[in-house]
Amino acid sequence: MSSIRQNVFQDALPDFRNLGVMARVLIAVNALALAAALLTVPNLAQALERFALWATFLEPLLLAELSFLFVLSPWLARLPYAAGFALTVALATALAGVYHALVEGAGAAVPANLVRMLVICAALVAVLLAWLRLLTKAYSPALAEARLQALQARIRPHFLFNSLNAVLGLIRRDPRRAERSLEDLAEVFRTLLSDPRSFVRLADEIALLERYAELEQLRLGERLRITWELDTAPTDALLPPLVLQPLLENAVYHGVEPGTAVGEVLVHIERRGDRVLARIENPYYEAEQSRAGNRMALDNIRERLALFFDAEARLETRAVGGRYRVEIEMPYRTAGA
C-alpha cells in the first residue's frame, strides 16, 4: 500500500483544452500589457488609450495562439516535458511572427518591430509555461490529499454494518441471495479501496451504483424504488472515481431511510454535446438537512471535481417540491482523446 504523502507530481505541459488554463493565460497576458502601458506613459488616461491600441493587435493573436495550442495539445502532451516546452515556445513564437508579418503587410500599425516582438513573445510563453507548471505543482499535494478525502467520503460505516447484518439475516432463508450480496459487497469495497487519483470509466461507476443499490434494496426492500435513466449515458466517459456513488448513498440515507412510505430515487445520466450530465433525485425531508454528513460529502465531491476538471465541472443542489436534486455537469472526455 503506497503512502498518502508520496509524490504524485510529474512535469507535464498544461492542458491547453482546459478552460481554467485558457482563462489564466488571457488574464495574465492582458494584465502584463496593461502594466507595460502604465509604465511607459505618465498618466492613466493615456495608458488606457495605449493599452486599447495594443489590445487590438494583441487579442486576435492571443486567441489564435490559444486555438493553435488547443488543436495541438494532445500531441504536445505526449512529448517529453523539455521537448514539449521548447516546441510550444517555438511554435507560439513562429505563429506570432507570421501574425506580425500579416498585420504589417495589411498596412496596419504594429506595437513593436519584428525582432523585439519575437523576443517578447518567446520570453512570455516561457514564463507562462513555467508559471502554469508551478500552479500544477502547487495543486499536486492537493491531488494526493484528494486520495485522503476520497477515503473520508467513502461509504459510511453505517452502510457496512447494516449490509453485513442484512446478509446475516438472509443466510438461512436464502443462501443464494446471501452469496450474491456478499459478492456485491466485495465488489463495492474493491472499488472503494482502489486508487482515487486515476480516472474511471463511467461504465465502471454505473456498475458500482448498481451493486450498491442491490445491497440497499436487500435491506430496505419495497421502501427503496430506484428509477434508472441511463439509455444515453456515455459509458466510455472518464470521471474521477466515487463521484456518483456517494450521491446515491446520500439519496438513500437522507431521502429513503427517514421515510415510512416508498422512497422514489431517480438516477439520470446523459451526454449532451461535449458535456456529461448526471442527476440524482430523492424525497426531501427538511429535518434531515440538519443531520451532518450531507454537506461534507457534497463539498468533497465538488473539490475533487475541481481538481480533475478545474473550472469545467459544476455541482449544484436544489430542493423543489418535496424533492432534493443533485446535478453534476462535467466535460465529456474519453481515453482516446
Q: List contacts with another protein (CB under 8 A).
A: 156-158, 160-162, 164-170, 172-173, 218-221, 223, 257-260
Instruction: Pick between residue 74 and residue 169 the one whose CB is nearest to another protein.
Output: 169
The CB-side HSE value for 28 (13 A sphere, CA atoms) comes to 15
Contact 71, 17 (CB under 8 A): no
CB of 149 to another protein, least distance (A): 20
Element spanning 327, H or E: strand 323-331
Q: Which is nearer to another protein, 78 or 173 (CB)?
A: 173
Closer residue to another protein (CB): 174 or 195: 174
d(CA 61, CA 117): 12
Closest CA to 291 of 156, 113, 148: 156
Least separation in angstroms between residue 165's CB and another protein is 4
Containing 325, the helix (H) or strand (E) segment is: strand 323-331
Distance (Å, whole) CA 110 – CA 114: 9
**Residue with smaller CB distance to another protein, 183 or 229:** 183
Smallest separation, CB 62 to another protein (Å): 52
Nearer to another protein, 172 or 176 (CB): 172
Which residues partner with 318 through β-bridges? 325
What's the min distance (Å) between Cβ of 303 and another protein? 25
Q: Which is nearer to another protein, 60 or 221 (CB)?
A: 221
What is the rounded CA–CA span in Å between residue 150 and residue 146?
6
Q: Could you tell me the smallest distance in angstroms from the CB atom of residue 181 to another protein?
A: 10
Q: Which of 25, 66, 22, 29 is nearest to 51 (CA)?
A: 29
Q: Closest approach of Cβ 292 to another protein, in Å? A: 10
Tell me whether residue 40 or residue 165 sits nearer to another protein (CB atom): 165
Nearer to another protein, 30 or 162 (CB): 162
Smallest separation, CB 159 to another protein (Å): 9
Q: CA-CA distance, 8 to 77, in Å (whole number)?
A: 17
Cell of 36: 507595460
The amino acid that residue 157 corresponds to is P
Q: Round to whole Å and give the CA distance between 199 and 308.
A: 9
First to last CA, the chain: 30
Cell numbers linked to 137: 505543482
Residue 30 CB, nearest distance to another protein (Å)? 47
Among 250, 241, 253, 239, CA closest to 296: 250
